């Protein structure tokens, strides 16, 4: 593979191909691309966005989720392959953290949109935390406690 589109196309075809994700990280690093470390973290920890394929949803959304009880409440669609530490998810741009409660990130019809949001958030983690995640410490307590985002007011309610 010689272009980013080649790598992204391969990952679109096989989202759980962690070897391709790691080679892509190397390719990005050779080009001094800051996304390299985030893709390496995903590949090394065997993480990738999943598709919500439930019958009652209108689109087959890709998403990542936090570990704050999601396995209990959404066990039918959540697996360890898309669970990320809450401190990582909390750093995702609000545009992609659609629920604002650090549980669900993404809900795009494209895998790469969700993955790019997660990769960008990884770069915002403190250096020591990034190193710990790269070493496989997904469940370690983060150095910085992230407060949950405030709940959004419902329309028509004060």
Which tens digits make up the pLDDT trace of 98-117? 555 444 555 566 888 888 98
Enter the pTM of the model. 0.76
In a domain, 82, yes or no: yes
In a domain, 84, yes or no: yes
Please state which of the ranges 77-86, 110-119, 129-138 shows the lowest mean pLDDT. 77-86
What does the mean pLDDT of the chain come to? 76
Q: Which residue has the higher pLDDT, 122 or 113?
A: 122
In a domain, 144, yes or no: no
23: CB partners within 8 A, 6+ apart? 1, 7
pLDDT (average), residues 42-62: 75
In a domain, 158, yes or no: no
In a domain, 153, yes or no: no
In a domain, 63, yes or no: yes
Domain membership of residue 86 as a residue range:
4-134
In a domain, 117, yes or no: yes
In a domain, 140, yes or no: no
Look at the chain and report how many structural domains it folds into.
1
């Amino acid at each position: 593979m010689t272009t980013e589109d080649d790598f992204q196309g391969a990952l679109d075809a096989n989202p759980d191909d962690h070897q391709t994700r790691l080679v892509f990280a190397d390719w990005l690093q050779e080009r001094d691309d800051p996304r390299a470390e985030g893709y390496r973290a995903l590949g090394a920890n065997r993480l990738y966005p999943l598709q919500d394929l439930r019958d009652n949803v209108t689109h087959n959304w890709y998403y990542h989720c936090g570990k704050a009880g999601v396995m209990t409440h959404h066990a039918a669609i959540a697996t360890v392959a898309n669970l990320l530490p809450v401190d990582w998810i909390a750093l995702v741009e609000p545009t992609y953290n659609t629920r604002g409660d650090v549980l669900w990130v993404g809900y795009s019809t494209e895998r790469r949109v969700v993955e790019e949001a997660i990769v960008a958030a990884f770069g915002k983690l403190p250096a020591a935390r990034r190193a710990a995640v790269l070493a496989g410490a997904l469940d370690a307590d983060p150095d910085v406690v992230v407060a949950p985002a405030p709940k959004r007011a419902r329309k028509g309610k004060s």
